[in-house]
Amino acid sequence: MIQTGRRRLVVVVKGYPRLSETFIAQELRGLELAGFEVVIVSLRHPTDSKRHPVHDEMAAPVLYLPEYLYQEPLRVLKGLWTAVRAPGFRATLRSFLHDLRRDFSPNRFRRLGQAAVLVREWPEGGHWLHAHFIHTPASVADYAAQLMQRDWSISAHAKDIWTSPDWELSGKLDRARWTVTCTRTGHAHLQALAHEPGRVLLSHHGLNLDRFPAFAQARRARDGRDAADPVQVLSVGRAVPKKGYDILLRALAALPRELHWRFDHIGAGGEVRALKALANDLGISGRCNWKGAMDQTEVLAAYRAADIFALASRVTVDGDRDGLPNVLVEAASQGLACVASDLSGIPELITSGETGWLVPAEDPAALADALAKAITDPAARARVGAAAARVVRDGFDYNTSIARLARQFDPEDLRR
């Protein structure tokens, strides 16, 4: 890991800590180890009851902005008073009114109010402002940067890209010093919207391989014929529409009756109750185990106990979709054979038939066929799993991605 002088980064995130955003905490911890001081600015308070080990290792203090402006009126008023006297107030007001004409919503006022509080409570010694996600965190960072007349930057991911209007993305891309994103599809989309495409960078998040050491043990050669020793199918992810768990359940229900399998789901989410009901309607509830949220140590053990990892990602009506789900990279790092949808950044990790199996999104029949092949052929699972593990260790080491990101936070820029 490269070492640098001490510089203080102020990083705006939507919520902290979050179990579903381990990649953000991992990246920020990597920057700390690279020599940066980090201050986390969170728009929301935590809602998860568990934490990952990386959250406990972070040295960064957390500044929580008012989640709703009416909850802390005095703090907001003090922030607005500071904002009115800020050097970039007039330009920021014009920018805000321009945005408001296109998006007249309480959310728009909230982001300006949060930005004003951030300006008033700016962390001492903060040199650079960065936003994780190009939607709401970048809105707050954008207004704050305009008020203070500071340079800033963005990390864009998946939902934030595909559910934001093009006009808003284009404006932020042009005002930020640089933007980094983690999949080729997202990179191409953002470059097409930017007036200076060269300021939009591509860098996969990578995985901290110290937390996911290679799994040296051989998995059991289960082939679905033994009712007493069924093939273990695992999925990790929030129970939300874009994860396609209804598709996965329908695919499992369509498997040949003579195949013996069990399905474990790890993750929270608003659709868990509906998915349990669907599994019951499909007649497979007795084979499904809903484990709820788990920390990273527990998830690693689950990867190692499983035979197949499955994820049926889809594009939702509002455009939301996965980028390259970190859980796929994690599963692949353990030599676990993966079956997934062929959309967004997933083909950047998985080549069908070589490092896993890809199927069209929204196609339970195709998914069932791929699962049946994986269930009945343990040798193929071992082959593609080993190949996927090599891809992760060769191309998804987070030390590489952290080094690239650290170079972007150039010392000359940080002195501004």
| Paired tokens of 99 | 């945005």
| Residue 185 sits in the same domain as residue 239 | no
In a domain, 306, yes or no: yes
* pLDDT higher than 50, residue 195: yes
| Residue 184 sits in the same domain as residue 259 | no
pLDDT tens digit sequence for 69-104 = 999 999 999 999 999 999 999 999 999 999 999 999
* pLDDT higher than 50, residue 415: no
| Residue 63 sits in the same domain as residue 173 | yes
Among 35-39, 343-347, 396-400, whose mean pLDDT is lowest? 396-400
Q: Which residue has the tokens 């051989």?
A: 218
| Paired tokens of 392 | 């992760």
Provide the pLDDT for residue 372.
98
Report the percentage of the chain scoring pLDDT > 70. Answer: 97
| Residue 187 sits in the same domain as residue 278 | no
| Residue 169 sits in the same domain as residue 243 | no
In a domain, 309, yes or no: yes
Domain range for 300 is: 231-395
Distances (CA, A) of 388 to 310, 342, 416: 14, 15, 43
The distance of Cα 335 from the centroid of its chain, to the nearest Å, equals 21
pLDDT band at 412 (very low <50, low <70, confident <90, very high): low
pLDDT tens digit sequence for 1-25 = 334 445 899 999 999 988 778 888 8
In a domain, 215, yes or no: no
pLDDT tens digit sequence for 350-400 = 999 999 999 999 999 999 999 999 999 999 999 999 999 999 999 999 888
Tell me the CATH number at 201: 3.40.50.2000
Counting the structural domains of the chain, the total is 2
Nearest Cα residue to 185 out of 161, 168, 165: 161
